[in-house]
Structure 1
Amino acid sequence: MIVELSHPIVDGMITYPGIPGPKLGVHLSREDSRKIYAPGTEFHIATITLAANTGTYLDTPYHRYPDGPDLSQVPVSKLADLPGLVVRAGAGREVVIDEDLDVRGRAVLIHTGWDRHFGTDAYLHGHPYLAPGSAQWLAEQGAALVGIDSLNIDDTPPRGERPAHTILLKAGIPLVEHLTGLAALPQPSEGQGFRFHAAPPMVAGMGTFPVRAYAVVP
């Protein structure tokens, strides 16, 4: 079974406050293509202008650190076919990871349920986030990737501190934010695992980009 974990990208959508929504356009319409190709043959070529932090997207170390690997430098082995572990968040905004979990080499996906607000004003305020101490523990334990179905893996107060980004990206651990659908993923206690995939294009000089994140559940 394949479980979709990404939000669709649509014209004008707001992913994060202050970041402009994408603009979709047309480079070649079907009508105009009929003037170029043989009778009965037509194509549509679209354009899109978007900020890299749009929809469900991946952060590489370059997003936080100028000397960190960018989208073209992070090996695909760190982004695809990873053994996955879903963590169900409890009550409260700050998510603390159970330190009894085996996270080494795994994509750790934090399920808060905040994705239910995606596309509304409620999504942009008061969101759940990863406790800095848990970010440090995940880095020390060698998690392969960390994701969350919330606005940001960090709290987003005006002071702009980002401890989870700082800790995890410094450790070379990619992040995926704005996930969805994590409720469908099994926990180890249910006797079933899954493989996680979230590989972006190899764009040199960029630290973030949208991904088609999904899980394969045997």
Structure 2
Amino acid sequence: MKKFIDLSHDFEDNMPGFKIKNEDGSVTQYTAHIHPFVTHEQSLPKYQGKAAFEITEILFQTSVGTYLDSPYHRYPELRDISEIKIDEVILEGVVIDVRGIEKFNCVDIDVITEEFDLKGKAVLFNFGWDKYWGQEEYYEYPYISERLIEYLINSGVKLVGVDTINVDSSKIMERPAHTRFLKNGILIVENLTGLENLYGKKFRFFAVPLKAKKVAALPIRAFAEVL
């Protein structure tokens, strides 16, 4: 029997998301709003009282929850979510344990050892930051260094995932990970969870979004199939 491991946070009403500080000092909160568009009670008369259905409405920014960034997220001339091929988001995966890195600090190339074969893989970094999901601590996080970004590009990785809200430091405005990875066609998944469940396992990583046109990023149901 195949074993699957869920790597996604729940997608729910008023869920955590980015907090963007505006020029006037105000803060824009990313989140999702979920409510019935048509309730069971409202639909009942339409079926002569013999059946009832809910139609649910969800309003959200696409960079919320466990989600995938397309190259279009950074570069308007590059591919959007609908142009990503299936074989780019179903990949053999590697988890790298980087727990213990403090907030605002970066993980560097010394975490990559000879045991890791990264070419063509989804490389997932487990900072252990998912434990702060829904708390203020989640917004102050570690990130990937520029040296490690270049190493991963040169190693031929296909996707990079993290269990933090951002693969880049919020203090570095150039956003080097998004800039370099997406320029090179390397996809990004953020807000993963449960990566420690993959230690010592060979697995295939799934990060398939809806085929949505002119969309920069999109929530996914990320999971792993243990091989």
Which bracket does the TM-score occupy, shorter chain normalised? Answer: over 0.9
Moved beyond 4 Å, runs of 4+: none
TM alignment of 1:203-214, pairs within 5 A: 203-214=212-223
Q: Is the 8 A contact 1:85 1:109 kept in 2?
A: yes
Using the TM superposition, name which of 21-30 and 112-121 deviates more.
21-30
| Equivalent-residue separation in structure 1 for 2:156 and 2:8 (angstroms) | 25
Match of 1:161 in 2: 174
TM alignment of 1:94-173, pairs within 5 A: 94-97=106-109, 98=112, 100=114, 101-125=116-140, 127-157=141-171, 159-173=172-186
Using the TM superposition, name which of 112-121 and 97-106 deviates more.
97-106
Cα deviation, residue 99, structure 1? 5.5
Q: Is the 8 A contact 2:149 2:181 kept in 1?
A: yes
Query: Any gaps of 5 or more consecutive residues in structure 2?
Result: 21-28
1:37 aligned residue (23, 47, 53): 47
1:215 aligned residue (206, 217, 224): 224
Q: Is the 8 A contact 2:99 2:126 kept in 1?
A: no
| Equivalent-residue separation in structure 2 for 1:105 and 1:47 (angstroms) | 37
TM-score normalised over the length of structure 2? 0.89
Match of 1:3 in 2: 5
| Equivalent-residue separation in structure 1 for 2:57 and 2:133 (angstroms) | 24
| Equivalent-residue separation in structure 2 for 1:108 and 1:124 (angstroms) | 22
Match of 1:26 in 2: 36
| Equivalent-residue separation in structure 2 for 1:91 and 1:114 (angstroms) | 10
Aligned length: 211
Deviation per CA, 1:10-55: give whole Å up to 9, x if none.
1112221134321112211100111111433110100011001111
1:72 equivalent to 2:82? Answer yes
Alignment RMSD: 1.3
Using the TM superposition, name which of 159-168 and 199-208 deviates more.
159-168
TM-score normalised over the length of structure 1? 0.92
Residue type at the aligned position of 2:184: A
| Equivalent-residue separation in structure 1 for 2:194 and 2:211 (angstroms) | 26
Q: Is the 8 A contact 1:186 1:194 kept in 2?
A: no
| Equivalent-residue separation in structure 1 for 2:183 and 2:113 (angstroms) | 21
Cα deviation, residue 131, structure 1? 1.0
Q: Is the 8 A contact 2:64 2:219 kept in 1?
A: yes
Cα deviation, residue 151, structure 1? 1.6
Cα deviation, residue 90, structure 1? 4.9
2:96 aligned residue (68, 77, 87): 87
